[in-house]
Structure 1
Amino acid sequence: MDLFSRSWTALLAAVAATPDEDFAVASGCAGWLVRDLVCHLVIDAQDVLITLATPAEGDPTAHAGTYWKLVDPPTGDDPLDALIPRLAAAYGEPGLLKFHLDDVGSAAGRAARLADPVTLVATQDMVLTVGDYLSAYVLEWVLHHLDLVAHRPSAAGPSAEVLAAARTALERVAGVVFPPALSDADALLVGTGRRAPTDAEVGALGGIAGQLPFVLG
């Protein structure tokens, strides 16, 4: 839960520090501008609030290591994928989008800090503890922080601590161990198909290279 707060707080700060003109720059998510990515983060923050306010009973059916699953790469047919760029454009001024994310995102962060980690919650037909749910989201925040700064080299990226945690999480979901030759950030970017591996990285990856990308859903 501590890593959730650190990764989410850093991501919110990075969005707040993004100049308005950079909202029209491409993000690390294929087909999305920075403004589209920030709009997606608003929806993510809403999902966190909804889940934390949805108590469940019975036994857990998932945990931090099984929350994410490998899925087929997106085809562009998902209505939500098409909605996000239109919704982001509707904000008009980047300042409005920043304000909405700060408002909803800060509330999600406070709710996470106040939540009892052993409480059971329900989301996406799964039951899991708050602690496991929030731990799973560290991977989401780190990947999207990398997306936010993908084409903005002067912007601050995720901390080494959360990068390492996200790498471990991706390895657990994918059932692989990335070679030490790849930094945590490179393992995440290459592993999820955010960039193509170099020839040297293909050699280091060995058989893993043929399994890429690992798309999470």
Structure 2
Amino acid sequence: MDRFVPAWAALRAAVADLADEDFAQPSGCAGWLVRDLVCHLVIDAQDVLITLVTPADGDPTADAASYWHVSDQPPTGADPLDALTVRMAAAYGDPALLRFHLDDVGSAAGRAAELADPALRVSTQDMVLTAGDYLTAYVMEWTLHHLDLTAHLPHVPGPPATGLADTRALLERIAGAPLPESFTDTDALLVATGRRTPTERERTALGPLAAKLPMFLG
């Protein structure tokens, strides 16, 4: 819970400070402009609010690591929700409307996270998780998308160091092996999730793990 709030606050602050022209720049998500990514963040914030008020009975069926669906195939953009996100983002027109909507819904999601009982069992995507595990999974969501936001906007501050370290640790749990110590947290996340192709030196350092990467998370 302590990690969720600063990761989310940093991402929202980065979006709030974007210039209007930044919204038309490409993001780190293939096929998405920055405005499309920000629209996706609005949808994510809504999902957080919905999930935290959807209590579940029974034992958890997933944790922060198994929450993620892992594929070895990159997203194609053909997913109906991905296409809808692009159309919704374009419909905003004025970037100020996107900033306002993310601040409005995003602030509410942040407050809901602060108030949530970590032991509360919640339901989402046919899974039962504790609220603590669900919000831990979202630290990864926020951190990776913060990297996506800054991919072509080097003047925009990146994600907090704690979020990078926590996301790396969770990604290593998902991969079932540690990433090389020689990798910075940022490089480890970019390479492991297919956001950047490893150099030959990095591929050598990865060793057998290179055959399992990249992992595309959804």
TM bucket by the smaller chain? over 0.9
**CA displacement, residues 24-81 of structure 1 (integer Å, 9 cap, x when unaligned):** 1111111111000000000000000000010111111111222113124223321011
SS at 2:129's partner residue? strand
Partner of 1:197: 198
Q: What is the CA RMSD across the aligned residues, in angstroms?
A: 1.0
Deviations 1:172-199 (A, max 9, x none): 1121211011100000001101111112
Relative to the length of structure 2, the TM-score reads 0.96
In the alignment, which residue of structure 2 is the partner of 1:48?
48
C-alpha deviations, 1:147-193, integer Å up to 9, x for none?
00111112110111110000011111121211011100000001101
State the TM-score, normalizing by the size of structure 1: 0.97
TM-fit CA distance, 1:9: 0.6
Does residue 58 (structure 1) correspond to residue 58 (structure 2)? The answer is yes
Which runs of structure 2 are paired with 1:94-109 in the superposition (5 Å)?
94-109=95-110
Q: 4+ runs of 1 displaced by more than 4 Å? A: none
**Contact 1:189–1:195 at 8 Å: present in 2 too?**
yes
| Match runs of 1:160-199 below 5 Å | 160-199=161-200
Gap runs ≥5 in structure 2: none
Deviations 1:79-129 (A, max 9, x none): 011111111011001100010000000000001101111111100111111
Count of residue correspondences: 217
Matches within 5 A, 1:91-170: 91-170=92-171
| Alignment of structure 1 residues 81-100 onto 2, 5 Å | 81-100=82-101
Query: Residue 38 of structure 2 corresponds to which residue in structure 1?
Result: 38
Contact 1:69 1:173 in 2 (8 A): no
Q: Distance in 1 between matches of 2:38 and 2:132?
A: 25
Structure 1, unmatched stretches of 5+, are none
Q: Residue 123 of structure 2: SS of its match in structure 1?
A: strand
Q: How far is the alpha carbon of 1:134 from its aligned partner?
A: 0.6
Identity of aligned residues (%): 68
